[in-house]
Amino acid sequence: MTTSYANILKPLHLGFTTIKNRVVMGSMHTGLEDRFYNYPKLAAYFGERAKGGVGLIITGGISPNRQGWLLPAGGTMNHLGDIAPHRLVTHAVHKHGAKILMQILHAGRYGYQPFVVSASPIKSPISPFKPRQMSEKNILQTIDDYAHTASLAQKAGYDGVEIMGSEGYLLNQFLSRHVNQRDDRWGGEIENRMRFAVEIVKAIRQKVGEKFIICFRLSMLDLVHDGNTMDEVIIVAKALEKAGITLLNTGIGWHEARIPTIVTSVPRAAFVDYTAEVKKHVSVPVIASNRINMPETAEKILAEGKADMVQMARPLLADAFWVNKTATNRVDEINTCIACNQACLDHTFKNKRATCLVNPRAAYETELVYIKTKKVKKIAVVGGGVAGMSAATVAAERGHQVTLFEAANEVGGQFNLAKVVPGKEEFHETIRYFKVQIEKTGVELRLNTKVNREQLEREGFDEVIVATGVIPRALKIQGSDAPQVLSYAEVLKGAAVGQKVAVIGAGGIGFDVSEYLLKPEHQAQPQDLNEWKREWGVDPVVNYMSEGGLERPQVDAPIREIYLMQRKTTPLGIGLGKTSGWVHRAQLKKHAVKMMRGVQYKAVTDEGLWVEMDGHDQLLRVDTIVVCAGQESVKDLMPKESDKTLANYHIIGGAKLAAELDAKRAIREGAELAAKL
Ligand code: NAP
Ligand code: SF4
């Protein structure tokens, strides 16, 4: 079969071995790699992705010693006894013709444990533990530990190792003046700062021989003050090549950087040009990374020669069969990663197993299984939001006869609102994916159809899944029925909004609506890359001389005056995702949105909104009030316990629980229920 993605599918010959295509599943900590008893699950997780066609997989980070732990008792490989569980993983991947590297990660001062060490004793802003400065002896021992770990990985059947040298972990801490303030042979000029990384590569190469992949993940753009310049990055890349690496991978931004690098508002392939600049100076194959999630983007990078391979971690959590779908021209069937971080990185930071919002099977391959049904049932799903679509498509995939009822003229529910928020354009992809799945799995879709219980009973369904979602909670104060009071749903559907706006409620939607109102309406396009760099202060020059690639951010004057408020006295937005909440807070702050907490809402008048703060009444002279005060469940279809019904009724998603309504729970609930029926 011919495909438009010839570059993605081209094998990469490394001399001693060949990778079957150009797609790398990048390292992503799932939490399964930290405990040996979870390795059967880890093997199933990687095995499914290998079966799905990926060429090369890189595991989550494994430490070479105790000092390098990211978390207490994190995954370590430094004894022969550590090998056995890893063999399950390498076997599961090799069975499908893919290659796999074990990532060796020493967290340095990012370790969330008391034994942390670094180049210099400077505490990181993201760990409470101050590191001890590594002595010469400690450095030399650590080099040996890396080499020993790599040789154990080789014995475990890995095709190679990746050395994590970016994102602000130990080797990055040595590479940059941001942390390395030593004046011995491991500090000072770049030739000294890179010595540790270079010696590690040499020691590993000597130990494992020539026929073993050594990939180095290098920070191409530190995005922290006193970070490296592009000239320094190139010096390091060339030295690593000389020391014996096989592949050079891209890292962008330290974890402590205050510039987003992977969230959904970062334009696709935002950092590829920095990788392309480094590629000009080395001859080993180079891997591009960050916000590459669809084949068009990946193919373009490869076709333009900007990189030799493309790395995706989250997109392969979202869809294990990404490569096979690309190879067989079924791109419209790809379940696209929307870069929300909600179920992957946010879980990792809470010490929970990583999975995926749009694919609840990720890392649960042995637990959430969709088995073909032996008894075909007639199933009604009421509500075409993500909960309903998830339930309907999984049930139909299993062989049931499914009808999906949707009162509106399109499916998507709350995602139809989210997709118009600036920086959330990826939500279109989820709706597209489900629409295609509805068609492929044979779900009968009845749009513009508001069903009632009598009709459902009359049609003889065996099971009814109520996924009727939510309605926005109304504000109930004096004057709140005035025309200038709008719900968030009305605003996101295009209602006219004035120049001075009060946003009531500062949950995820209050933040989203504020961001929406900061841009001219109906600008439902991803942000222009140069404009994005300018707003966040990223040096657009690929051969940047600025330290860490940082520039002064330049933000246009806001087009509206916005007050965002809540009744609680806690800081606004603390309930937002750990890895994305700070981006939303920074965005609103940059655009001068006034954040108010401890607010009591009193009345709406022609003059504006009366509120009470610190015991004083205050008038906010606003012309529009947008209510983002949460939601209420719509569940009138659910029978009472005393009602006699022919069908079994189930309730999922926002209809079941509007508090903490979220898409992650909705999609998982739909899939879990459908897997059992
Ligand atoms: P939410 O997070 O529950 O926030 C509701 C807001 O309304 C709170 O700020 C609350 O603060 C206020 N509120 C609650 N009852 C009120 C009342 N009777 N009168 C006035 N204010 C009231 O809900 P949401 O913002 O609607 O978001 C819904 C869900 O969508 C979220 O839980 C999230 O999972 C998902 N979401 C996530 C994101 C994201 O960025 N990750 C974005 C959008 C949506 P006070 O009680 O302090 O006033
Ligand atoms: Fe992508 Fe969100 Fe899934 Fe993470 S949870 S893999 S960011 S869609």
Closest-CA residue, ligand 1 atom 30, reads: 662
In the 8-state DSSP scheme, what is residue 269? T
Q: Do β-strands 117-118 and 132-133 pair in parallel, antiparallel, or remain unpaired?
A: parallel
Q: pLDDT class for 74, splitting at 50, 70, 90?
A: confident
Ligand 2 centroid vs 664 CA: distance in angstroms?
Answer: 10
How many CB atoms sit inside 10 A of residue 238's CB? Answer: 15
Return the pLDDT at 354.
97
**Is 488 among the catalytic positions?**
no
Probe ligand 2: pick from 291, 314, 336, max atoms within 8 Å of CB? Answer: 314
Probe ligand 2: pick from 265, 341, 578, 662, max atoms within 8 Å of CB? Answer: 341
- pLDDT tens, position by position, 519-535: 876 566 778 999 999 99
In a domain, 361, yes or no: no
Listed residue (264, 266, 179, 277) closest to 221, CA to CA: 277
Return the pLDDT at 522.
56
Ligand 2 centroid vs 315 CA: distance in angstroms?
Answer: 7
Return the pLDDT at 94.
98
580 alpha carbon, closest ligand: 1
User: Rounded to 10 degrees, what is the CA torsion of 585, 589, 592, 597?
Assistant: 60
Closest-CA residue, ligand 1 atom 39, reads: 508
662 and 576 part of one domain: no
413 and 495 part of one domain: no
How many CB atoms sit inside 10 A of residue 138's CB? Answer: 13
Whether pLDDT at 661 is above 90: no
Ligand 1 centroid vs 575 CA: distance in angstroms?
Answer: 9
Q: Report the nearest atom of ligand 2 relative to the CA of 293.
A: 1
Whether pLDDT at 52 is above 80: yes
Question: Of 313, 341, 365, at which residue does a domain stop?
Answer: 313
How many domains does the chain fold into? Answer: 3
Q: pLDDT class for 73, splitting at 50, 70, 90?
A: confident
Contact partners, residue 615, CB within 8 Å, separation at least 6: none
Return the pLDDT at 578.
87
- pLDDT tens, position by position, 110-125: 999 998 999 999 999 9
Report the percent of the chain where pLDDT is more than 70. 99
CATH number of the domain at 427, please: 3.40.50.720
- pLDDT tens, position by position, 301-357: 999 999 999 999 999 999 999 999 999 999 999 999 999 999 999 999 888 999 999
In a domain, 363, yes or no: no
Cβ-contact 43, 51 below 8 angstroms: no
Listed residue (409, 316, 402, 381) closest to 670, CA to CA: 381
CATH number of the domain at 513, please: 3.50.50.60
- pLDDT tens, position by position, 557-594: 889 999 999 999 999 999 898 889 999 999 999 999 99
Token pair recorded at residue 317? 């959590």
What range does the domain containing 664 cover? 378-471+632-676
In a domain, 584, yes or no: yes
104 and 155 part of one domain: yes
571 and 647 part of one domain: no
165 and 241 part of one domain: yes
Whether pLDDT at 199 is above 60: yes
Q: pLDDT class for 2, splitting at 50, 70, 90?
A: low
- pLDDT tens, position by position, 591-620: 999 999 999 999 999 999 999 999 999 999
Return the pLDDT at 60.
96
Token pair recorded at residue 313? 């971690």
What's the mean pLDDT in 146-161? 98
In a domain, 9, yes or no: no
Listed residue (423, 364, 404) closest to 668, CA to CA: 364
Question: Of 290, 313, 336, at which residue does a domain stop?
Answer: 313
Cα–Cα distance for residue pair 353/652, rounded to 1 Å: 23
134 and 270 part of one domain: yes
Q: Do β-strands 608-613 and 616-620 pair in parallel, antiparallel, or remain unpaired?
A: antiparallel
Return the pLDDT at 523.
61
Return the pLDDT at 349.
87
Return the pLDDT at 673.
98
CATH number of the domain at 137, please: 3.20.20.70
What is the pTM (predicted TM-score) of this model? 0.95
Token pair recorded at residue 93? 């991947």
Question: Of 629, 645, 661, at which residue does a domain stop?
Answer: 629
Average pLDDT over the chain reads 96
Burial of 28 (0-12, 13-18, 19+ CB in 10 A): buried
In a domain, 183, yes or no: yes
In a domain, 10, yes or no: no
391 and 498 part of one domain: no
654 and 619 part of one domain: no
449 and 572 part of one domain: no
Ligand 1 centroid vs 630 CA: distance in angstroms?
Answer: 4
222 and 181 part of one domain: yes
155 and 131 part of one domain: yes
What's the mean pLDDT in 641-659? 91
396 and 279 part of one domain: no
What's the mean pLDDT in 655-659? 87
In a domain, 387, yes or no: yes
In a domain, 229, yes or no: yes
What's the mean pLDDT in 483-488? 97
Ligand 2 centroid vs 18 CA: distance in angstroms?
Answer: 30
Q: pLDDT class for 658, splitting at 50, 70, 90?
A: confident
Cα–Cα distance for residue pair 324/328, rounded to 1 Å: 6
Return the pLDDT at 521.
66
Whether pLDDT at 1 is above 90: no
Per annotation, catalytic residue among 45, 146, 169, 364: 169
Probe ligand 2: pick from 356, 415, 425, 430, max atoms within 8 Å of CB? Answer: 356
Token pair recorded at residue 424? 């959330």
